[in-house]
Amino acid sequence: MDEKVLLVDDEEEFLDTLAERMRNRGMSVTTSMSAVEAIHKSEDGDFDVIILDLLMPGMDGIQALKALKEKKPDLQVILLTGHATVQKGIEAMKLGAMDLLEKPADINELTEKIKKAKAQKMILVEKKAEKKIRDILKRKSW
Amino acid sequence: MKANETTSQETGLQFFGKLSAAVSHDLKNVLSIINEKAGLLEDFCHMARQGMALDMERIDAVTAQVKAQVERADQIIRCFNRFAHSTDHPIASVDMGETVTTLVRLAQRLLAGMEVSVAVQPIDPPVVITTRPLMVQELIWAAMQWMAAQPGEKKAMSLAVERCGDGARVLIGALGHPPEGGLDAAFCAATDAVREALQAEMHLDSASGMLRLQLAALEPPP
């Protein structure tokens, strides 16, 4: 089953090339050059994971992460940064990011993390479905 | 001096550090693009080994893109080298046009982060003055940041340099939305030490919204 990915970065050449390589690996990839556009696209699209650049003009990755998680708490977000520090990593994890990768990123490592993100999302979706069923059963007292 | 006060040496270092960090980020972005292009060529080779035909035009295009990124990185490093050498001598002859152009090029990512675009007006003939190379850039950057922070929807700035006697005048204009009100006290206080060292004056023309930095020619070193 192909992973649905939203790739967000303000460097167009980086975005287009990485998207092509990810599609060659069987993923379904949507791209966005700004955090604001990405937030709109995430509302309409049912993405397994969002790959988000940390430093972008206008709204940066951390602000975008906060906004995305507020709208869709189950969303899996992987941050990409030119300079990964422990402090940034902690801040990102506290806000709910799944992982933080330093650029240039190795596509095999990124692909593994995307697969894990999809698996994590499926677990969360299943848990929600189970809870719904339990709630229904409780109400009906069967 | 209080513990929380910053010396002019420290502000100079902070300015140098901020621009250096912006350059390192830009270079990381270039490396990321080159990394992906190289990866794409690897992918093509892998697909060719699986029996797929090689698209030679595509390969030519990707290698041309790699070369363009190498050129981009070279430009960034040249500008950064010029900037780094502005610390060689405390007082020196400074080509103001080249200095302003280099500063804007290096600060592009920072400016993009503030959603500001800057147009440097052509400067011909060159305006060369004796001044403090790093400090003059620090003052111009502080002035640009202040202009960018003024309220307004579209942030587009113009930067021009004029000869003024033995000295020079740097004109920073906000296109479309000139700043309202005068120069605030905090900004003036923050630039006091640098302006004193440069023998510079700062004026905001309320009619045109142009921020004018008047730089005196300093005594050359013996």
Taking only the tens place, the pLDDT of each residue in A5-14 is: 999 999 999 9
Could you tell me if residue B174 is inside a domain?
Answer: yes
Residues 6+ apart with CB under 8 A from A99: A78, A79, A113, A117
Q: Does A26 touch chain B (CB under 8 A)?
A: no
Contacts of B115 in chain A (CB under 8 A): 57-58
pLDDT, position B5? 57
ipTM: 0.88
Query: Could you list the residue range(s) of the whole structural domain that residue A121 is in?
Result: 4-140
Q: Does residue A72 have a pLDDT over 90?
A: no
Q: Is B65 in Cβ contact with A57 (below 8 Å)?
A: no
Instruction: Report the 10 Å Cβ neighbour count for B168.
Output: 26
Residues B76 and B101 in one domain: no
Q: What is the pLDDT of residues A82-122, one digit of tens each?
A: 876 778 788 888 888 999 888 999 999 999 999 999 999 88
- Return the CATH number at A16: 3.40.50.2300
Query: How is residue A103 annotated by DSSP?
Result: S
Contacts of A95 (CB under 8 A, 6+ apart): A62, A65, A66, A69
Same domain? B79 vs B104 = no
The answer to whether residue A108 neighbours chain B at the CB level (below 8 Å) is: no
The last residue of a domain, from among B68, B85, B102: B85
Nearest CA in chain A to B21: A83
**What is the structure's pLDDT at B66?**
98
Question: Of B132, B134, B75, B126, which Cα lies nearest the Cα of B105?
Answer: B75
Q: How far is CA B37 from the centre of its chain?
A: 28
Nearest CA in chain A to B41: A21
In a domain, B221, yes or no: no
Note whether B56 and B143 are same-domain residues.
no
Q: Would you write out chain B's pLDDT as a tens digit for each of its 222 residues? A: 555 556 778 888 999 999 999 999 999 999 999 999 999 999 999 999 999 999 999 999 999 999 999 999 999 999 999 999 999 999 999 999 999 999 999 999 899 888 889 999 998 899 999 999 999 999 999 999 999 888 776 578 999 999 999 999 999 998 766 677 788 888 999 999 999 999 999 999 888 889 999 999 999 878
**B32 and B141 belong to one structural domain:** no
**SS3 call for B50:** coil
Whether A139 and A24 have beta carbons less than 8 Å apart is answered as: no
Find the CB nearest B29 among A14, A57, A105.
A14
Instruction: Count CB atoms within 10 A of the CB of residue B95.
Output: 17
Altogether, the residues listed in chain A come to a count of 142
Q: What's the distance, CA B83 to chain centroid?
A: 9
> Do residues B80 and B47 share a domain?
yes
Q: What is the per-residue pLDDT for A105? A: 92
Number of domains in chain B: 2
What's the structural domain count of chain A?
1
pTM above 0.90, yes or no: no
pLDDT at res. A7: 97
Tokens of A36: 């604001």
**Of B188, B213, B204, B193, nearest in space to B129 by CA:** B213
pLDDT at A123 over 60: yes
Which candidate, A141, A11, A116, places its Cα nearest to that of B28? A11
Domain containing B137 equals 90-215
